[in-house]
Structure 1
């Protein structure tokens, strides 16, 4: 019985992994339920294809302790040629009734947030090593200083998908 269950679980793992043909890069950094405003999440990857168009996403896993209906992020894309592109982004994280957006069966939801590629094709400008730095920039309404500890964020991820199959 144990061997049969193990074989079924292994088969499902291979099936799930093989269905993700568009994935080029996918990584997560975990938090202990809070994301400090000074904690910058970094992802490094090598990209040598400057011809194929790509989509890039910031993935946020959060739970019911997340107190806001949106999130503000500052994302820096450091290119191999030394140029850094900085974007300040806002995403909706909750429905008008307060329920969390995103996918998931438990109180943890995963939101796949567009970063690059949604407005048209995105091609990497140079071959080489890239770094993506992500920091939260959430503020309470009417407050200038940022939220020191953003509760409810359990993981932040970065994903690159090929637009071609």
Structure 2
């Protein structure tokens, strides 16, 4: 029953994302996670989700966000992830380790938006990022927790949007 409920919530969330229009958005994609054995909601250390997006306008800055979906039974208040951004020539532009706080460290109360036991987070990872040449850029995400099989992380994603001053 719980899997059916989670599946229904994921379907509704996906439909909402498809119907939401944001003129600043350039790219957004989320990937559901499974262990090498096929267990759902597990981010294995060897699983490095990759996202490719096209930049045509190099005259303006962009904001790059990480999307994280976690279940309430995720065992930690934070998540460490390495984000590697490469340009169309394969050269690394940025490689940063991000600590994302998914729950309040003292109270354990979840942060982000959600209902039931599923929570979504959109975290600004690369603010005001400039892209110097048009073409296809790539972002690779790696979980940097001290566990090979990180349970409770349901999906990860990337969103790229035009930077809006004052936001």
Range into which the TM-score falls when normalised by the shorter chain: 0.7 to 0.9
1:161 CA displacement: 1.1
Give the gaps of 5 or more residues in structure 1.
Answer: 1-11, 140-146
Cα deviation, 1:102-139, whole Å, max 9, x if unaligned, reads: 1112211011111111xxx3221221111110010012
Supply the distance in 2 between the matched residues of 1:37 and 1:49 (Cα, whole angstroms).
34
Q: Which residue is 2:102 aligned to?
A: 93
Supply the distance in 2 between the matched residues of 1:72 and 1:164 (Cα, whole angstroms).
27
Match of 1:38 among 40, 46, 57: 46
TM-score (structure 2 length as normaliser): 0.79
Rg larger in structure: 1
Paired residues of 1:93 and 1:101 also in contact (CA < 8 A): yes
TM-score (structure 1 length as normaliser): 0.80
1:52 CA displacement: 1.5
Q: Which residue is 2:60 aligned to?
A: 52
CA RMSD, 1 decimal = 2.1
Q: Which residue is 1:9 aligned to?
A: none
Consecutive aligned runs of 4 or more in structure 1 exceeding 3 Å deviation: none
Count of paired positions: 143
Supply the distance in 2 between the matched residues of 1:43 and 1:26 (Cα, whole angstroms).
9
Paired residues of 1:52 and 1:164 also in contact (CA < 8 A): no
